[in-house]
Structure 1
Amino acid sequence: MSYAPILRQLADRQQFGELLANAQAYWHEAEDCQALPLLALAHAQLGQRHEALAWLAEAEARLVQLDLDARVDLAGGYCLLQRPLDATPLLEAALEAQPEHALALARLAWCRMHDGQAELARQLYQRSAELAPQRLPVWSALARLCLEAGDTAAAQQALDAAIERLMDVQGELPEAVVAQFSAQFRGLQLEIWLAQDGLARAEQWLDARRHSLSEDEWSGLLCGYGALLAGHDRHAAAEEALRQGLKHYPKNSALLSQLAELAQVQGRTLQAIQLLRRLIQLPDMQEAQAVSLWLRLSAACLQQDGEQARQAAQKAIELAQGLQAGESISEAGLLGLRLQAKQALAQVESQAQQFEVAERLFGEVLAENPWSVPALQGLGQQQMQRGKIDEAVALFERIRQVDPPRGYASLINARQFPEDVETLERMEQAARQPSLEGSLRAGLLLQLAAAWEKRKDYDRAFALAKEANDASRKLLRYDGKAHRNSCARIRHAFSRSLYQHRQGCGLDSTLPVYVVGMPRSGTTLVEQILAGHSQIFGAGELGVIPQRIAGLNRWERHSGSGRHYPDCVDDLSPYVTAGIANGILDELREYAPEARHIVDKLPHNFENIGLIKFLFPRAKIISVRRDPRDIAISNYFTDYQAKHGGMGFAYDLGAIGEQLADHNLLMHHWQQLFPGEILEINYEDVVGDLEGSARKMLEYIGVAWESQVLAFNELERPVKTASVWQVRQPVYQTSKAKWLRYQNHLAPLIQGTNARIEWDPIEMVTLPEPGLLNEGVELYRQERLDEAEYRFKKLLHHIPEHAAANFMVGLIYVRKGHLKAGIELMEAGHGKCPWNPNWRKDLIQAYQLAGDTEKTEALQRTRRTEPNDDPDDQGQPLGSATFTETLGDPGRIV
């Protein structure tokens, strides 16, 4: 009797450790060659590539003895080792002999997917799932393919089937396997809701999962959600979700780590450093994990504070040397950590121009691992700085064999351009090699454009920049019309009447200073000048204001108002406004507790001046202006790697022109709204009269003159933006009128800038007073039902579809005995927010009071179909769940 079917069942259920042990025992006992492919498959799934290849070779040698099922298993091993060309003939032959072989269909589906035949793969997975519905991985793969095809309904259907199958067999599976599939299905559910733009439902579902999952499980789920949001260019929403999670688990390392990564990729290095330090100080941190965190901290500090970077690297070396190989880390992993730590210190020494020390450290790393890309790149960049071109090129050639783009890009990344045309042409050839990025590498072409500009071949430079930007635009989601409509709504929402009717809102603080302007207008230079003052701290580009806007949008989604920012600013009461403002001040003070003023130089905060002045009426705002043609060319030639940061317009001259026009109109609106309160500084004036401009800015902020602000390029606190290499130099004149080199190419820019500014008609509800919902909820808690009802109805007069207001009026009606009318209103509210568990509980109880068993059972069944949902919480009085348990406190939007 063959035990192969039993072994295959272990593979189906992803119990690969057990599969390996049982297959080995079976092979040694029976020497049945049908087990050979399963041994290879188990090793491959466990990441043991060398062993997997050995067993595959053994199976290939006995191919004629393998039955059909074993040949399908052999194909599975090929699939796991990324060898679809070897797997496909075996699977096609198997299906020719047995057309309804479910596992062969599934594995052939993977091969077709690998070949780019997504629709055919989907059909094969669908047929496999129908034939063998118990195979959970097939349903999961089918759901993902449907999701990638944009068919979210089919994806949800496949996921529901997977969840149902898991519930059927979970009693037969080990807990670890059930947990693995459950986590996988939760992640898929979040992806589907995100694809359907169901953020509110996803967030509420995540909140509910917190009560039924362990901290590690829930934080892992939330990190996955954050990664999904970031992958959809919703980085502010991702940060908001992680920060909400940290309210529940403030010492969770996974949440803090991902938040640090998000800050780093968006260029907010100081914020990333703070988060990494917070992570390192957590108790019970594993030593190997601590080494990695110190390495990340060193890399983050490298451009901010060389001494901190050195201390972090040295700490990593110290900890790594003290580690011993064991269960938590292998010998190979330990060696890798030690080499990474040494490489980090080498990078610090190179940055400090301690070239001899750095070269020795790089050499020690390369002696152990000759193909360490970071060490090769770091040493190569250093050799370029020292003029040792041939040595650097040799190092970059070695990188090219492992990572070609990095090898070719290192020269220009260091802002040291090759002198010979041949090198540039070789780099251009490499940039045109197809890769996962596409048919060409846009970033490398933009770097080459800068190199040709330096050689004064401006037409070739522009041609390369245009080609790179045209390629990048295909991958971007920038919508110029949507931006124009957004700016129009901002102007409409932040009107003079708003501030007249909301007097007394905001905090009387002058701590925050905002430097705003179009990107590449000179905001970095202005911040550097200000940061040279003893009472002013330059915090760089902070995401504080966009994060609060994301928080406001979250509140509106969860209340079911149907509104979003900026429409909802009329609902900001003094309490809510003070809560938001105090949260911002607390965050700013963490950067420099003793500073009198802290500068946030996020350029696009020019769109958020209305909110800034609402929160901080006395905040100082410096608007930096520059010749728009120079702004346009500088943006067009810059590779914004963080394209998600609102820079999608920078890849098209026409879009840049439109953005410049939108910026001008918006700044005109703010100057009219806040006359004399916003200081306008021209970049050309700063370059032409540095001291005069500096005095003007310091006087505006309200601090005494200090001459050291003129030596901004000597600050020990360099910056990390697209301007970092420029601000290390004294003020220079060559950046003025740079556009003249490209004036023959500026027609799209001029057309975009001068085109008529039009936007869609604006329909925006204006509430006569803020906080009606919050006041009504508070009155309801105090059992003052009539007064609460009046507040909710007043809100409904202006927003008839407001879900929370409808639900709360319905709740009051039910409590007063008006069951039919109350239930109708509760149904209306719940229908807009079906993911709200507290409303669902209340509606079930209302149905029970009305004796409507059919609706009660239907709603209870709906709840039970939610993945991993908790049982209905019986016995609580109607409406007992506090409203802010569902929505959060609007005054604590962080």
Structure 2
Amino acid sequence: MRAGDSVRTGSPSGAAPLLQEHPAEALAAAEAILRERPGLPPAELLACQALRRLGRAEAALPRLAQLAHREPRVPAVLWELAQAASEAGETEQAIAALEKLTQRQPGVASGWFLLGAELRNAGRAEQGWRADLSGVHAASRDPELLKAAMAMNEGQLDESEAMLAARFARQPADPPAQRLLGEIAWRRGDMGEAIAQVRTAIEQAPGYDLARDFLIRLLLQSNMLAEALEQADILAASPLQSPGYHLLRASVLVRLGDQQAAREVYERLLAQDPAQPQVWQNLGHVLKTLGRQTEAVHAYRQAVTHQPTMGEAWWSLANLKTVKLGTEDRPAMLQALAALEAESAVEAEEDVFHLHFSLGKAFEDAGDYAASFRHYEQGNRLRRSMVLHDAAAFSAEVAATAQTFTAPFIAAMGDGGCPARDPVFILGLPRSGSTLVEQILDSHSQIEGTMELPEMMIIASRLQSRVDEGEFPDFRAMVAALTPADRLRLGEEYLDRTRIHRRTDKPRFIDKMPNNWQHVGLIRLILPNAAIVDTRRHPMSCCFSGWKQHFARGQTFSYDLADIGRYYRDYVSLMAAYDAAAPGAVHRVHYEAMVADTEAEVRRLLAYLGLEFEPACLEFYKNDRAVRTASSEQVRQPIFRDGVEQWKNYEAWLGSLKDALGPDLTNAGLPT
């Protein structure tokens, strides 16, 4: 095309502004020019663009094909030809035009994305996937997107969103911008909007692997596990193979409780490349859960062989409660710790605190309790600096809950909720014996064990957000506003969300989430016939055991002796309030009583559940089910008494814990 053709009065440039808002007028203007100057390329292109915008792609297509033959190097012509062919259903013609366009302009992402769509229409899925990947690569160099991403990373979320809005006004289908919008929503804490935006991005470009990876992580955060697995299966089939995609899929399988399938993923990756300490560690976790202790030890030792400073692998080895770290392990861990501390790198902090916890266990195994306590204390101090826990605010929340679920309040709420008797909630503090109770009950023919399920906490958090967002003045008002229909819906939602974890047709299932003690009132409102079992252990024993245990997530109160003592007090006070408000609703199992007379306690527990006694419950250690908690190895052995008073070896250093518990709890043994 000649530059002068587009600048004179009566030229196509004068008609072009009409194209978006008034395509019929643009067409008329272009045709008028063509009558004066037949075949003028800019006018011909404008006419075809107008025809397509008027829904007449079939009429535009032959004219565009002729124009492309005459002007084969003009990207705008190829782009218009491709879009017209696509709209007219002429897939192969669209592909041919787009292949030429992307060769000439490989840095323009939109051409690649349209090519991907047309290749999929033609049944060439893998080529379409690769075209999408090329589009993502091109978009990574787009100055406008880079500027919006930089603003987002600097916390300027509104500015970044405004840049993207301006971009969408010109180009509505823009997968990378859509994914970026999803990340903005995620950073704002709007998980639903984030998921919706990222879903749209991969609908527009199914081969956008990085967006699908992000979506899977969002779904995992939202505990939407079925969809997460669907997406992970797709991602694992990407033509651009990445071990990370298979690792992500394995993490979804673990969350779903399919440990064997995850194991197969890890073993396949290690067969391809054994020098992968993270994969060895992940394999160790799965093997531990499956009860394959010897193989788990081997996997963890392979991890630290390949990466001696890998603190989590050392802790995973130490955390096999029935395994003792040997004399050769302590020097190796101390050497690794010294190397990490010499680096003074922030990213090494997790390895450092894991090594301190591991050394605490190693010196405990050796009977050097002073050295053991010193390392436990250092590990806890470092971990405490990395988490948020406001003990006073938490105590206030617990008090508000206790003041809400009084006997008169419960009576005033009346009947409601889902009447199903399926769930058996096991709750209490971590390290209180809950896994033992779960293993015993899972050995019964009528009860299925699952895992620590977050569904009740998710529902409670969503309800609390209505208070936080100002819809209700306080927690009590929010709960009081729940109608019988609301409570029925919430109970049914809980059952729907947990159904994916049930693998058998047993009528009852266990939800063993210790933190659910905070939600007993809510459980009673939405699932009034659910069983609630409170597992309790001597306060000094329970708190000390929790303090020296590094938890992967969630137990932010456990890294300070005073915090954990106060937390125990809050727990006891709230459970006492529930007992007073609804006597007999919660069944309590004392760990020490279970150890002293297992059969009597098991019979008492089954009677509460309305079930017949079965001898298999006393041989729970023969149950080969997967167990993910820190007690996974202990519950595969007959009950032993060694752990009942281990805290006494450290009593000289536990003054702050005793002070936090107070004399009533410290000296009373087991609270009632």
TM-score normalized by the length of structure 1: 0.51
Partner AA of 2:344 in structure 1: P
Q: Which residue of 2 aligns with 1:144?
A: 153
**Distance (whole Å) between structure 2 residues aligned to residue 675 and residue 385 of structure 1:** 42
Match of 2:347, SS?
coil
- Indicate whether 1:180 and 2:176 are aligned: yes
1:674 matched to 2:585: no
CA distance in 2 between counterparts of 1:405 and 1:283 reads: 30
Change (3 A) 1:668 1:460: same
Residue 422 of structure 1 pairs with residue 306 of structure 2: no
Give the match's secondary structure for 2:589. Answer: strand
* 2:481 pairs with 1:571: yes
Cα distance change of structure 1 residues 141 and 457 upon mapping to structure 2, 3 Å threshold: same
Displacement of 1:652 in angstroms is: 0.4
Could you tell me how far 1:436 is from its partner in structure 2?
3.8
Task: Please say if residues 281 and 303 of structure 2, whose CA atoms lie closer than 8 Å, have aligned partners that are also in contact.
Answer: yes
Once the two structures are TM-superposed, the CA of residue 510 in structure 1 deviates from its matched residue by 2.3
Cα deviation code 1:705-732 (max 9, x no counterpart): 1001111111110310122222122211
Cα 1:562–1:687, aligned 2, differ >3 Å: closer, same or farther?
Answer: same
Cα pair distance change 1:17/1:445, threshold 3 Å: farther
Structure 1 pair 17/446, CA: closer, same or farther in 2 (3 Å)? Answer: farther
Change (3 A) 1:640 1:567: farther
Determine the structure 2 residue equivalent to 1:842: none
Aligned AA (2:406): S
Give 1:582's match in structure 2, choosing from 492, 499, 503. 492
What whole-Å deviation, never above 9, does each CA across 1:268-320 have from its counterpart, x for those lacking one?
xxx95x66666689999779999998876767778998xx6556766x6xxxx
Measured in 2, the distance between the counterparts of 1:689 and 1:297 equals 44
Matched, 1:484 2:484: no
Are residues 1:342 and 2:250 paired? no
1:458-490 Cα distance to aligned partner (Å, 9 max, x none): 111111111111111111111111111111111
Total equivalences in the alignment: 527
Cα separation, partners in 2 of 1:16 and 1:710, compared to 1, 3 Å: farther
CA distance in 1, matches of 2:377, 2:496: 44
After TM superposition, the structure 1 = structure 2 runs for residues 148-297 of structure 1, keeping only pairs within 5 Å, are: 155-156=156-157, 158-159=159-160, 162-163=163-164, 166=167, 179-181=175-177, 183-185=179-181, 187-188=183-184, 191=187, 193-194=188-189, 213=200, 216=203, 258-260=218-220
Note the 1:41-80 alignment, pairs <5 A: none
Asked if the contact 1:549/1:565 (under 8 Å) is kept, the reply is: no
Deviation at 1:165, TM superposition (A): 6.7
- Is 1:708 the counterpart of 2:619 in the alignment? no
Tell me the distance in 2 between the aligned counterparts of 1:605 and 1:587.
16
Indicate conservation of the 8 Å contact 2:229/2:253, yes or no. no
Q: Deviations over 1:14-57 (max 9, x none)?
A: x99988889xxxxxxxxxxxxxxxxxxxxxx999xxxxxxxxxx
Q: Is the counterpart of residue 697 in structure 1 residue 608 in structure 2?
A: no
Match of 2:71 in 1: none
Distance (Å, rounded) in 1 between the aligned partners of 2:370 and 2:306 = 32
After superposition, the C-alpha distances for 1:747-770 in whole angstroms (9 at most, x for unaligned) are: 11122222999xxxxxxxxxxxxx
Seen in structure 2, the aligned counterparts of structure 1 residues 409 and 705 have a Cα distance that, compared at 3 Å, is closer
Alpha-carbon distance between aligned partners in 2 of 1:183 and 1:605, rounded to the nearest angstrom: 35
Question: 1:143 and 1:745, CA in 2 relative to 1: closer, same or farther beyond 3 A?
Answer: same
The reply on whether 1:412 has 2:318 as its aligned counterpart is yes
Partner Cα distance (2:196, 2:253) in 1: 38
Amino acid aligned to 2:492: N
Question: Is 1:461 the counterpart of 2:372 in the alignment?
Answer: yes
Are the counterparts in 2 of residues 140 and 158 from structure 1 also a CA contact under 8 Å? no
Shift of 1:506: 2.4
Q: Deviations over 1:52-80 (max 9, x none)?
A: xxxxxxxxxxxxxxxxxxxxxxxxxxxx9
SS in 1 for 2:570: helix
- Amino acid corresponding to residue 423 of structure 1 in structure 2: A
Tell me by how many angstroms 1:661 deviates: 0.7
**1:291-306 pair list within 5 angstroms:** none
Quote the Cα distance in structure 2 between the aligned partners of 1:747 and 1:313. Answer: 44
CA shift, 1:679, in A, is 1.5
- Say if 2:432 and 2:535, in contact at 8 Å, map to a contact too: yes
- Preserved CA contact (<8 Å) 1:470 1:652: yes
**SS of alignment partner, residue 734 of structure 1:** coil
Residues 803-842 of structure 1 aligned to structure 2 (within 5 Å): none
In the alignment, the residues of structure 1 paired with residue 164 and residue 249 of structure 2 have an alpha-carbon distance, to the nearest angstrom, of 41
| Paired residues of 2:182 and 2:197 also in contact (CA < 8 A) | no
Corresponding residue of 2:650: 742
**2:450 matched to 1:450?**
no
Contact map agreement 1:301 1:309 (CA 8 A) in 2: yes
Q: Percent identity between the aligned chains?
A: 22
1: CA distance between counterparts of 2:243 and 2:260? 14
Question: Quick check: 253-262 or 445-454, which moved more?
Answer: 253-262
Q: 1:413 to 1:671 in 2, by over 3 A?
A: closer
Quick one: structure 1 residues 295 and 422, their matched pair in 2 at CA, closer, same or farther if it must change by over 3 Å?
closer
Unaligned runs of 5+ in 1: 1-14, 23-44, 48-79, 81-133, 148-154, 225-251, 264-270, 317-339, 344-361, 758-894
Partner of 1:510: 421
Measured at CA, do residues 17 and 514 of structure 1 come closer, stay the same or move farther in structure 2, by a change above 3 Å? farther
Instruction: Report the 3-state secondary structure (helix = DSSP H, G, I; strand = E; otherwise coil) of the residue aligned with 2:533.
Output: strand
Partner of 2:527: 616
Contact 1:449/1:465, CA 8 A, preserved across alignment: yes
Q: 1:163 to 1:741 in 2, by over 3 A?
A: same
Deviation of the 1:523 alpha carbon? 0.8
1:753 equivalenced with 2:657 (yes/no): no
Q: Which amino acid aligns with 2:275?
A: W
1:373 aligned to 2:282?
A: no
**Which structure 2 segments of 5+ residues have no match?**
1-100, 109-132, 136-140, 666-672
Distance 1:311 1:694, change over 3 A: same
Where 2:627 maps in the other structure, the secondary structure is: coil
Change (3 A) 1:377 1:608: closer
Is contact 2:568–2:661 with CA below 8 Å preserved after alignment?
yes
| Contact 2:432-2:537 at 8 Å conserved across structures | yes
Structure 1 counterpart SS, 2:634: coil
Report the residue type matching 2:596 in the other structure.
Answer: G
For the 8 Å contact 1:136–1:166, the answer to whether it is kept is no
TM-fit CA distance, 1:216 = 3.0
Supply the AA of the counterpart residue of 2:327. Answer: E
Aligned to 1:730: 638
Partners of 2:444 and 2:631 lie apart in 1 by: 20
- CA pair 310-287 structure 1, distance change in 2 beyond 3 A: farther
Distance 2:514 2:575 in 1: 13
Hey, what does 1:540 align to over in structure 2? Answer: 451
Q: Return the match for 1:524 from 435, 441, 456.
A: 435
- Please give the secondary structure, in 2, of the residue aligned with 1:437: helix
Q: Secondary structure at the residue paired with 2:628? A: coil
The 3 A distance-change label for structure 1 pair 656 and 387 is closer
Is structure 2 residue 654 aligned with structure 1 residue 653?
A: no
State the partner residue of 2:540.
629
Aligned partners of 2:431 and 2:344: how far apart in 1? Answer: 31
How big is the shift at 1:507?
Answer: 3.4
2:385 is aligned to 474
RMSD: 4.8
Aligned partner of 1:885 in structure 2 is: none
